[in-house]
Amino acid sequence: MTEVPEAKNILGVKKDLLLVKMLKEKEVRSLPKSFLFYLREQLKYEKFVKLGNRYIINSQLPPYPSPAFKQFLKVGNAVREGKTAPSSVHIAVTNACPMDCWHCSNANREDKGDLDLDVLKETLGKLQDMGNSLIGITGGEPLLRDDLEEILSAIDERSVKMLFTTGYGLTPERAQKLKDAGLFYAVVSLDHFIPEKHDKVRGFEGAFQIGVDALKLFKETGFYTVASTVPSIEMIESGEIWEFVEFAKDLGVHEIRFLAPIPTGKIVGQRELRWQKDQAMEMFEIHKRCNADREYPRVTVFGYIEAESFLGCTAGTFHMFIEADGTVTPCDMIPLNFGNIYSCGIEKSYNRMADTFRNPRYDCFVRAAVTLIGKAYEEEGKLPLSREKSLEIANRVKNWKMSDCFKELGMPYTWTEEELKGMGKKKKAQGCMSAINEGPCGGKKDDGPAPPDDPEVETGGGCFGSLSKDDMK
Ligand code: SF4
């Protein structure tokens, strides 16, 4: 058995020096200086992890140095020309799963069998040619597929490989085979530190032990291990969330990913399950505190990364999802249909979607579309929604304001006034940076309309639950 490297958390001066080194890569040199300052500031609540000879900023990015990291950097320059690419892709290779989680984003799908291996392999190659640098294999439970190693082996080094699993069926031999197939990030669902509570939310007796054993085994085999958690409002309010962090620390995971409950799949339309401001503040506190402390695992609160002040929502532009029946959607959480890899292929489906979304949105698309998606599901009775309904919803929600990261990069904003019809009245010109909540901004100096008047489209909050930029200082 190969020796497993010890992970180190990188903070302070070492983190700054590493950042400087990363920014010397030739793909970054032509980026605006102001963007680099912005980036340094945005990363102040992040902690890097060193595992072997690789550094991980967080598990949603390829490790540095690596060919996948170089591929990721190339996108930065293309963005300034208004180009998008499916930089990160998650693929449900099967819908089969022994568990029945309360928040499953993949629920309410017809069972049409697993994704065909040959079609999948061809699609993976095309995705990499299109600029992909991160491929996440998910389900259902992907470990149920006997050919998972073959799927992973079809991805070359231009993309980092990630697996989302409950751990069901993992053995030491399987873990080693996955390692040999080039898997780097092993993400295991773990929703609680009390076995009965975890089993209950996962709808499967023994799920807790399966998850814990999988995390240990993945770590022993040399993977970067991530515990993926969807904390409920109750878990945050009771303070159990802090006990969970201690538990994950003792377990020795490298990172904890905290995802907010998103009203899709099993909980489609159920807006009351989303975090509100108090819970979001508490989660932000965990993100900050753990990442400032060398002794704790890296923490990624997704809502912080996907907030307006940072990346925002890249669904349909730089992120996409492929369902187990081949349907191409903007994100694991957005059941909107833009084509199918069996019928129109990945390029046509992605281009259709990217032409609709065009710019990364300032906050979670699902949050804005929760009412529309809920109603459409009532009408159509299955997910993903039909192509006609999907287009109607995407055009009604509109990506009317970009996140700061893409503004700072200088991405041109391409929604026209005509397309933004139905939005509120245009504000007096103030410039984006001072009127950040007022309207769409392509360059930093643009101005635009106020939020949409459509009562069925939400305009605030993001998946993080109503935190403003001031809250997140
Ligand atoms: S912000 Fe919401 S819709 Fe956008 S990529 Fe994240 S989960 Fe998906």
Q: Comparing C-alpha atoms, which of 200, 57, 69 is closest to residue 133?
A: 69
**Distance from residue 450's CA to the centre of ligand 1 (Å):** 22
Q: What tokens appear for 330 in the block?
A: 């903007």
Instruction: Decide: 315 in ligand 1 pocket, CB within 6 A.
Output: yes
Pocket test for ligand 1, best of 88, 268, 301, 334 (most atoms within 8 A of CB): 334
Residue closest by Cα to atom 5 of ligand 1: 315
Read off the pLDDT of residues 370-383 as tens digits, 9 standing for 90 and up. 899 999 999 999 99
- State the pLDDT at residue 447: 46
Q: Comparing C-alpha atoms, which of 83, 55, 70, 82 is closest to residue 24?
A: 70
Confidence of residue 429 (pLDDT cuts 50, 70, 90): very low
- State the pLDDT at residue 440: 40
Q: What pTM was computed for the model?
A: 0.92
**C-beta separation of 136 from 164 below 8 A:** yes
Instruction: Decide: 365 in ligand 1 pocket, CB within 6 A.
Output: yes
Instruction: Decide: 319 in ligand 1 pocket, CB within 6 A.
Output: yes
- State the pLDDT at residue 407: 93
- Tell me, rounded to whole angstroms, the distance of Cα 182 from its chain centroid: 21
With 80 as the cut, is the pLDDT of residue 472 above it?
Answer: no
Instruction: Decide: 331 in ligand 1 pocket, CB within 6 A.
Output: yes
Query: Which ligand 1 atom sits nearest the alpha carbon of residue 315?
Result: 5
Residue closest by Cα to atom 1 of ligand 1: 364
**C-beta separation of 33 from 12 below 8 A:** no
Instruction: Decide: 397 in ligand 1 pocket, CB within 6 A.
Output: no
Q: What tokens appear for 215 in the block?
A: 């995390």
Instruction: Decide: 260 in ligand 1 pocket, CB within 6 A.
Output: no
Q: Please state which of the ranges 7-16, 187-196, 199-208, 407-416 shows the lowest mean pLDDT.
A: 407-416
**Distance from residue 275's CA to the centre of ligand 1 (Å):** 15
Q: Please state which of the ranges 114-128, 256-270, 406-420 shows the lowest mean pLDDT.
A: 406-420
Residues whose CB is less than 8 angstroms from the CB of residue 114 and which lie 6 or more positions away in sequence, other chains included: 93, 94, 95, 96, 145, 324
Query: Which ligand 1 atom sits nearest the alpha carbon of residue 367?
Result: 2
Instruction: Decide: 366 in ligand 1 pocket, CB within 6 A.
Output: yes
Q: What tokens appear for 173 in the block?
A: 């031999």
**Distance from residue 462's CA to the centre of ligand 1 (Å):** 9
With 60 as the cut, is the pLDDT of residue 434 above it?
Answer: no
Looking only at the bridges linking them, the beta strands covering 134-138 and 224-229 are unpaired
**Distance from residue 24's CA to the centre of ligand 1 (Å):** 30
Q: Comparing C-alpha atoms, which of 367, 366, 370 is closest to residue 269?
A: 370
Residue 62: enclosing H or E segment and its boundaries?
A: none
**Distance from residue 422's CA to the centre of ligand 1 (Å):** 24
Higher-pLDDT residue of 415 and 63 is 63
**Distance from residue 333's CA to the centre of ligand 1 (Å):** 7
**Distance from residue 220's CA to the centre of ligand 1 (Å):** 32
Query: Which ligand 1 atom sits nearest the alpha carbon of residue 314?
Result: 5
- State the pLDDT at residue 183: 98
**% the chain with pLDDT above 90:** 68
